[in-house]
Structures are given as structure tokens and as C-alpha cells.
Amino acid sequence: MADRLTPARVLIYALLAGFAAFYLVPLLVVVLNSVRTAEDIGATSVVGLPRELAFGNFERAWGSYCIARRCEGISPYMWNSFLMVVPATIISTLLGALNGYSLALWRFRGDNWVFGIITLGVFLPEQMKLVPWTLVLRDLGLTNTIAGLVLIHVVQGISFTTLFCRNYYTAIPQELLKAAKIDGAGFFRIFWRIVLPLSPPILIVTVIWQFTHIWNEFLYGVTFTSGAQQPVTAALIALSVSVSEAPQYGVQSAAVLIAALPTLLVYLFGGKYFVRGLTAGAVK
């Protein structure tokens, strides 16, 4: 039978299970340390099972971890990340959908060159954009602001969202647009009434991609913001070098899990739609 377990297949499954276990070891260490006390970790090592469960680490990591009248916690930085991620994701997705719609369904001379220039941003490393963004944010008065990070991620994300949407929209029949034009529909009316209702698969892909990429981004957050304006990824570094005398590995591990929770939830509830959307776009 085709699905019978052969020695070769058993070996492949064993290797895959071993690779998966090896990949998940760091996550397991973080999860275990998040419920271990500082004394427990100090008495043994950062790799070990908890002697007693210390769920108070999560409360301290969230915002009630105070030493010498100074409180440490990631709750305000989580809010900063949401203020950055939500508008940047929505705006970049809408702009990418408009760009993809224009380049795929409203052909014009030089459209392939325009598409190539836009998607060039996909291949440029982030480090080479630091100096230009520093000048732009300085001239706009957006240095060390959440609005500045929103601007950066909107512009950075347009390359990806345009690429995804343009490749998806090329499968929409031109006859639909011709019929809409005959009925008197213009550019934006066709987009809102015809193209967007056909777009949920690829829009889910772009939203998930943008949300996770922007939330996990570290370089721009730590370079262009400081203090109370930092997103949570940059604030985690500050927590790791807090004013405490002894390393608080349990609190730091709990903070890492809290910071990773939004992206984990997004993939948990939207992962299957992400795969479907990518597959649909690839086939079309």
C-alpha cells in the first residue's frame, strides 16, 4: 500500500521529529524559565525543570516589577507596538492593494518598470536604509515617535503588499472591468465594488505578513526610538539590563512570552488562511 510505513519512511519521520525537537528546545527553555523563581534558576542553571511554579513572573513582567522606586514592565511598550502595528498594517495593505490593482488591471506604458522599482525594496537590506530614514524623520519632525515608525513600516511594507496583490489580481478577468466601464464605473468604484470583494484570500496573507513582520521588527525600533516611545521588541533589551542586582531570568522569559503572544495568536487563528491565500496567489 502507498501509505505503508517502510524503513525509509520511518527514518525520514524520525529525522523530521528530531529536527523539530531541536528547533523547539529554546522555546521550551523559555517556557520553563518563565515559571521558575530566581532562586531556583540561580541554584541550578537556566536549563532545568521548575521546583515550584512561579506565575508571579508574568505579573512582574507585565508591569509591577519595581526596584529602587523604578518600575519595570512591558505593558506600555506593548501598547506602543499595537499603536504602531495596526495603522501600519492597514495602510500598507490598502496601498499595496491599490498598487496591485493598478499594475495588474490598468495597464500603462512602463508598468513593468514601475512594478520592478516598487518590488526592489523587497531585496534591499534594512541596514542600508538607516541613514536615509534618519534624515527623513529629522526633516519631518518624527524622530523618536510612534508616528515615525508607522511611516517607516508603511513605506517598507508597500513592496511586499504590492507584490502579493499584483500577482493575485492578474487572474481577475479583464471582461469584468470592461463590463463595469460600460456601466459607467470608474477606477475607484471598480476597485471597491469588484476587486476588493474578490480579495479576501490575498488580503489575509498581506495582513498576517505585515502584522508579524512589523511586530517582530527590532532594528528600526531600537534605532529611531528610545525611552517611553519604544516598541516592545526594543523594550525587552532594556528589561534584560534592568536596575536589579541579580539577573531576573524568570521575569525576562515571561516578558518574552507575553511579547510573542500576539503573533502566535495571529498564526494560530489565521495560519490556515495564510497558506490558502499564498497557494491561491501562486496558482493564479
CATH number of the domain encompassing residue 200: 1.10.3720.10
Do 51 and 165 sit in the same domain of this protein? no
Q: Is residue 159 part of a domain?
A: yes
DSSP 22-78: HHHHHHHHHHHHTTS-HHHHHHS-SSS--SS--THHHHIIIIIEEETTEEE-SHHHH
Q: What's the number of domains the chain is made of?
A: 2
The answer to whether residue 64 sits within a structural domain is: yes
The three cell numbers locating residue 271: 495560519
Which residues does the chain have with pLDDT short of 70?
1-3, 64-72, 238-247, 277-284
Phi-psi region of 206 (alpha: psi -120 to 50; beta: other; left: phi over 0): alpha
pLDDT of residue 72: 61
Residue 36 C-alpha cell reads as 521558575
Amino acid symbol at 242 = S
Residues 45, 119, single domain; the answer is no
Domain termination residue (choose one: 72, 95, 118): 72
Burial class (CB in 10 A: 0-12, 13-18, 19+), 121: middle
Q: Does residue 43 lie within any of the structural domains?
A: yes
Give me the pLDDT at residue 131, please: 92
> Is residue 272 included in any domain, yes or no?
yes
Q: 61 near 255, Cβ under 8 Å?
A: yes
- For residue 96, give the nearest of 34, 158, 148 by alpha carbon: 158
**Are residues 52 and 87 located together in one domain of the fold?**
no
Same-domain status, 154 and 271 = yes
Residue-number span of the structural domain to which 237 is assigned: 75-283
Q: Domain for residue 135, yes or no?
A: yes
Q: Quick one: 99 and 65 in the same domain?
A: no
Residue 1 lies inside a defined structural domain of this protein: no
pLDDT tens digit string along 109-161? 888 898 888 888 888 888 888 999 999 999 999 999 999 999 999 999 999 99
**One domain for residues 135 and 164:** yes
Which residue, chain included where needed, has cell 508574568? 58
Q: Which burial class, exposed, middle or buried, applies to 164 when counting CB atoms under 10 A from its CB (0-12, 13-18, 19+)?
A: buried
The reply to whether 85 and 215 lie within a common domain is: yes
**Residues 148, 261 within the same domain:** yes
Q: Is 268 inside a domain boundary?
A: yes
d(CA 152, CA 221): 10
**Three state DSSP letters for 225-238:** CCHHHCCHHHHHHH
Q: Are 126 and 219 in a shared domain? A: yes
**Cell numbers standing for residue 223:** 534605532
Same domain, 143 and 43: no
Of 223, 108, 98, the closest CA to residue 161 belongs to 98
**Are 63 and 82 contained in the same domain?**
no
Task: Determine, yes or no, domain membership for 2.
Answer: no
Q: Are residues 48 and 134 in the same domain?
A: no
By the 10 Å C-beta count (0-12 exposed, 13-18 middle, 19+ buried), 145 is classed as middle
> How much is the pLDDT for 133?
93
Out of 32, 51, 72, a domain closes at 72
CA atoms within 13 A of residue 26's CA, in its CB half-sphere: 4
Domain finish residue from 55, 72, 89: 72
